[in-house]
Amino acid sequence: MSPLQVIYDCDPGKDDAFALFLALARPDVLNVVAVTAVEGNVPVAFTTSNARRIVEAAGRSEIPVYRGCARPILRPLDAGEQVQGAGGLDDSGLPGQVQPEHPEHAVTALIAMLEAAPEPLTIAAIGPLTNIAVLLVARPDLAARIEHLVIMGGSEGRGNLGDFAEYNIRIDPHAAACVFGSGIPATLVTLDQTRDLRPPMTWFESMAGFGAPGRALAAMWRADPIALYDVAVTGLMLWPDLFETQPCSVMVETCDEKRMGQTRIVRGQGPCRIVTTLDAAIFYDRIVEAMAAYGERPST
């Protein structure tokens, strides 16, 4: 089978970095067409530069990176520097970017790519959904050119930015409401299924010999371990056999300030699917196997 054609819309952040490194390790399965950066874990100037550093460290400097929206649609940005560090990839040891970002805005680039692609594209959305919402407002006709959205966001239970909301949705709840209301086929990887994806430090250290990507991951998790939230999105696209899903509908709270960004997920029917279980043990094994490809490349 031909590789899946996918655009990553992200806010790197170290779990975004891991998700991208994993995708770029398997070009036989995932062809990363482009990376679009959005505000989120840190301001968009950092997320864009970080995305360039990631693709270059992975030996894929030909992949274009586009800077997207610098703030949520209706709310001020509440960036996550307290979790990800002021630059988003603090402690990674990754070199600075070599090539500049592309001059086009991410939304303009998304429009052009969707129009030009011979077949509809998949978008892996692992940050706030601002870029995608603005795209859909500007060009609602292009919803039909998106084959599938794979989204890290939402929670059926406790949130991680306040009691009710998951971080990516809370940062721009109005964008999330727009995207989930679009009818585009989407699979939702929630906080419920990812908050306990926390391998031991020895697991990260086992990848330290896998080139610049492996060294960066080991260093970042040694400094501050977090769950593999965004990594699960890449895992779902690489190894769908490890994941079970159910149909669902998703509503996003945009009125009640206390519950802003809360996702109300109704299982059983609807245009989306939600991940219900994943085989974490096999997932961890396959990640290491995939990341080992970087150990076979010259050091960056």
pLDDT tens string 115-128: 999 999 999 999 99
Tens-digit pLDDT profile for residues 68-112:
999 999 998 876 555 666 688 989 999 999 998 999 999 999 999
With beta carbons less than 8 A apart as the criterion, state whether 188 and 201 touch: no
Can you say how many angstroms the Cα of residue 33 is from the centroid of all Cα atoms in its chain? 14
For residues 156-181, give the mean pLDDT: 96
Give the list of residues 6+ apart from residue 202 with CB closer than 8 angstroms, or none. Answer: none
In this prediction, residue 298 has a pLDDT band, given cuts at 50, 70 and 90, of low
Does the structure show a pLDDT above 50 at 299? no
More confident residue, 277 or 85: 277
pLDDT of residue 46 exceeding 60, the answer is yes
Q: What pLDDT is recorded for position 57?
A: 97
Contact 8, 21 (CB under 8 A): no
- Note the pLDDT of residue 293: 96
The mean pLDDT value of the chain amounts to: 95
For residue 81, the model assigns a pLDDT of 59
Q: What is the mean pLDDT of residues 155-163?
A: 93
Confidence class of residue 215 from pLDDT cuts 50, 70 and 90?
very high
Q: How far apart are CA 50 and CA 115, in angstroms?
A: 27
By the 8 A CB rule, do 119 and 147 touch? yes
Residue 296 pLDDT > 80: no
Please state the rounded mean pLDDT for residues 58-76: 96
Q: Which of 59-68, 83-92, 107-116, 205-214 is predicted with the least confidence, judged by mean pLDDT?
A: 83-92
Q: Collapse the DSSP code of 62 into the 3-class scheme (helix H, G, I; strand E, B; otherwise coil) and give the result.
A: coil
* pLDDT at position 1: 80
**Pairwise pLDDT comparison (197 vs 297), residue with the higher score:** 197
Give the domain ranges of the chain: 4-296
CATH placement of domain 4-296:
3.90.245.10
| Distances from the Cα of 152 to the Cα of 16, 74, 184, angstroms | 10, 21, 15
Reply yes or no on whether the pLDDT at 226 is more than 70: yes
